[in-house]
Amino acid sequence: METFLALLTYFAYFFIILLYTVKLIKYLRMPVHLRWELYPVIDEGEFEEEKNWIEKPRKKRYLKGFLFLLKDYFTLFDYAKNNFPYWLGIYPWHMGFILIIIFHILCFFGGLSIVKGIGVSYDSEAFIGRFLYLAILLTGVISFLAGIFGSVVVALNRILNRNLRDYASIQNFFTYFFTFVVFFTGFYSWFFTDPHFFEYREFWVGLLTGRFRDVSFWTKIHIIAFDFFLIYLPFTRSLHYITRFFAFFLIRWDDEPNIRGSKLEKRLTEVLKRRISWSAPHVQKGSSWSDVARFIP
Amino acid sequence: MRIEDISKKSEILLKLKKEDFMPLPHPYEKGDLEPEIRDLTEEQLKKIEASLDGISGVGLKKPETKEEENELIRKFLSGLEKLLSPDDNWTFLMPFYHSLEYCVKCQLCSDYCPIYLSSGKKEIYRPTFRAEILRRITERYVKKKKRLTRLISVGDIELNWQTVARLAELAYRCTLCRRCAKVCPLGVDNGLITHEIRKLFSQEMGIAPRELHELGTIQQLKVGSSTGITSRALSNIIEFMEEDIEEKTGRKIKIPVDKEGAEILLLHNAGEFLSWPENTEAFAILFDIAGIDWTLSSELVGYDAVNYGVWYDDIQLARIATRHAEIAKKLKVKKISLGECGHAHKAMIVIADRILVGDLNIPRESAIPLLRELVLSGKLKLDPRRNNFPVTLHDPCNMVRLMGIVKPQREILRRICPDFREMEPHGVDNYCCGGGSGFAIMQSMNFPDWRNSISGRMKLKQILEVFSDVISPEVKKYVCAPCSNCKGQLRDLFNYFGVNKRCGIFYGGLAELIVNALADLKRPFIDWEWH
């Protein structure tokens, strides 16, 4: 059983990383597009408010943009401001996700510490051992509680609010149920069988060393549920966690002007050579974009 | 109303009633001063497709045979595939793909959509409604997902003639103001999806409102302007403007035309020459006083800044922008400056920025920062007391939310208008005038009624609210709208509701207010004549 559990976990991580990577590569390989920014452009400002702006130096402050988005990850401020009842469900639900990811990263480091001979417990001699123990405990417990609450409230919101219900799919409700199972089994396992997450850390030691460890029934159920959830995630819209950054940096805040002789201009010169197959009467089907642009119908 | 109802073979999906619409403030609170939206005639209904909401903006003719119907459906699908192609749609593929794939349907955008709110929250106008239809069609007919998968993941839809026809109309029930996109935490842009649907219909099926295509971009490229003004007519207009300037201000100005090597090629929306020549005259006066080296162009297309392609067709957009750049190149000007026209700003400065390469890549900028410089630099002798009347500013979406030009016009108004007051919300959160994305020029059948009653309703509400303390018609009030299309819409909107007569509210541009504040003018430049 322990071998199955370990192999399933390896596979789940490998699968989600692979599919997310494929999806992200597909996204990033799309050609350069026309400017379609929306203001305020947080990482820059409004340079077109200036006379002769093209002659003036422009500076992108990517860190500012990144921090803006990061802040929103941890607050979901737009929802809190514009639809508080919705935020009441969506916020704990998302916090559940964020914290369970941090929990697993910490478990990985916890396992690594144990492999390196540093005990992870509340009375560990090493500070890092005590820190990891506490951080794993807090992130795990808060994640499970927030996730359980969030899954229920989000599902109720989708059912009770007509605006949301009419646009909801069966998959939405399946996802809420699935996340509830993941968080609930995690909570149950922690509360009744593994209050210090000792088993979980040992499980990670097994994953890191290849000497797989068995765990109790409820921890096993939680690990299986979580693994299947990881396998399921690429088939949902969950990648919005990452593509949101792309949408802001590559679309909404992408105000890079086309300066003569720039790399951007070279890329644009290339895409303008692409041939079009649109077939309305005013279009010269089969011509390149640059030829079509110079044609007067 | 459910998404799948779009395919229903009913006569009409939504019957509009003014009692359902968002209430307006005084003096329109009772609703009796608001006209009813006219129904299409029996004759029109026989020929024209209006089964969405009884309104026709596109003027789509009903197919006469089943074969014709099937062909339209086939073409629609072929166009949808092209929207997802990196060759056919490199222009917007990434934003389109993102919006199609990553909407979680939280509906945060709905309460930001002025049309949805003004209509009394009619489902078909919800920003996610048309996007969801397109998403479901894509899943079923382009990605060819199996029925069970579709039912689980997105829900199903039937693609028939009704769906295609209603979607064509539905693409013209959104002004592309992109307020919905601004509030979306995930970067989803339902305005863009509307834009892409319009593009599909135009570029693949040759379907677009006549005012945008035949009378718009096609006429502009052939005759020189979407207004129909020819080069010869332009020279007459310029002569008239010079005489008018002399009569109004006593200044003898020679308006430069086709001046080679000028610093600035000024592009005006040709609608200004016809309907609001006081705006183009004001520019000429200000540039003359400031000693700016500028010129107009009399070349075909060169005297009309408009580029309706930005609303419905990338190919037409590219053609007009290319033509503008070629003219600037021929005149050897240092840069192109855009007058008071929001969509021309967006089209030429922002969108076409990635179409114009090599020697067509000529610097382009807004004239508003230049006007600010003139006002704040002291080059003009200004007396703000001459603008001693309540003034508010309408923010054209294209210039503000979509381009980031927010401060210059405000700095000007604060300097020259002692009773300047902001509408709420304003700046990047502004509401569209209701005439955006071509609506202001779409005048056929009963579409103008819909535009005035619904898409312009929120703007009217804002204007009435900002002037609520001086709403009596005896107090003259000025809505400054630095955009030709917005002015066109305000003219129609105010006429429809009798706003000028009942409330004494006028509209006009920014440059006119600056000229009106010139200290040495013998009489006011703004004459308060309704037109």
Q: B186 with B41, same domain?
A: yes
Question: Quick check: is A239 in a domain?
Answer: yes
* Structure-token pair, residue A34: 């026309």
Read off the pLDDT of residues B485-507 as tens digits, 9 standing for 90 and up: 999 999 999 999 999 999 999 99
Question: Quick check: is B242 in a domain?
Answer: yes
Question: Could you tell me the pTM of the whole model?
Answer: 0.96
Nearest to A166 among B2, B92, B428 (CB): B2
Q: B399 with B463, same domain?
A: yes
Q: CA distances (Å), A132 to each of A193, A244, A272, in order?
A: 20, 30, 54
Q: A225 with A285, same domain?
A: no
Q: A286 with A231, same domain?
A: no
Chain B residues with CB under 8 Å of A169 CB are: 152-155
Question: Quick check: is B522 in a domain?
Answer: no
Instruction: Please choose, from the candidates A42, A257, A40, the residue with its C-alpha nearest in 3D space to the C-alpha of residue B404.
Output: A40
Residue A140, pLDDT score: 97
CB pairs under 8 A between A and B: 240
Instruction: Please choose, from the candidates B219, B174, B202, the residue with its C-alpha nearest in 3D space to the C-alpha of residue B88.
Output: B202
B407: closest chain A residue by CA = A49
State the number of CA atoms in the 13 A half-sphere of A6 facing the CB. 17
Chain A residues with CB under 8 Å of B337 CB are: none
Q: A247 with A108, same domain?
A: yes
Q: A125 with A70, same domain?
A: yes
User: How many domains is chain A built from?
Assistant: 2
User: Beta B477-480 vs B391-393: how paired, if at all?
Assistant: parallel
Which CATH number does the domain housing residue A247 bear?
A: 1.20.950
Question: Quick check: is B523 in a domain?
Answer: no
Q: B453 with B486, same domain?
A: yes
Q: B152 with B20, same domain?
A: yes
H or E element: which one contains B508? strand B505-508
Measure in Å the smallest separation between the Cα of A235 and chain B Cα atoms: 9
Q: B101 with B218, same domain?
A: no
User: Beta B364-366 vs B335-338: how paired, if at all?
Assistant: parallel
Residue A2, pLDDT score: 85
Q: Which residues of chain B have pLDDT under 50?
A: none
- Cβ separation A164–B106 shorter than 8 A: yes
Order of strands across the sheet with B505-508? B420-421, B391-393, B477-480, B505-508
> Which of A59-73, A86-100, A123-137 comes out lowest in average pLDDT?
A59-73
Best of B94, B99, B360 to substitute, by most chain A Cβ atoms within 10 angstroms, is B94
Residue A245: pLDDT band (50, 70, 90) is very high
> Which of A110-114, A292-296, B369-373 comes out lowest in average pLDDT?
A292-296
The residue out of B207, B226, B256 marking a domain boundary is: B207
- B159 within 8 A of B73, measured Cβ to Cβ: yes
Q: Tell me the residue range of the domain where A282 lies.
A: 263-294
Q: B66 with B40, same domain?
A: yes
Q: CA distances (Å), A128 to each of A99, A100, A199, A206, A215, in order?
A: 19, 20, 19, 20, 24
Q: B180 with B227, same domain?
A: no
Residue found under tokens 């959509």: B113
Question: Quick check: is B364 in a domain?
Answer: yes
Q: B120 with B226, same domain?
A: no
Q: A84 with A105, same domain?
A: yes
Q: B432 with B352, same domain?
A: no
Residue B248, pLDDT score: 94
Q: A220 with A199, same domain?
A: yes
Angle between helices B161-170 and B127-137 (to 10 degrees): 140
Q: A8 with A150, same domain?
A: yes
Predicted complex ipTM: 0.94
Residue B323, pLDDT score: 97
Question: Quick check: is B530 in a domain?
Answer: no
Q: A233 with A286, same domain?
A: no
Question: Quick check: is B474 in a domain?
Answer: yes
Q: A120 with A267, same domain?
A: no
Question: Quick check: is A258 in a domain?
Answer: no
Chain B residues with CB under 8 Å of A297 CB are: 218, 221-222, 319
Question: Quick check: is B405 in a domain?
Answer: yes
Q: A166 with A288, same domain?
A: no
Measure in Å the smallest separation between the Cα of B501 and chain A Cα atoms: 36
The residue out of B207, B232, B267 marking a domain boundary is: B207
Question: Quick check: is B275 in a domain?
Answer: yes
- Cβ separation A171–B152 shorter than 8 A: yes
Chain B residues with CB under 8 Å of A97 CB are: none
Per-residue pLDDT at A297 exceeds 80: no
Q: A61 with A153, same domain?
A: yes
Q: Tell me the residue range of the domain where B175 lies.
A: 3-207
For residue B246, the 8-state DSSP code is H
The residue out of B371, B388, B411 marking a domain boundary is: B371
- A87 within 8 A of A79, measured Cβ to Cβ: yes
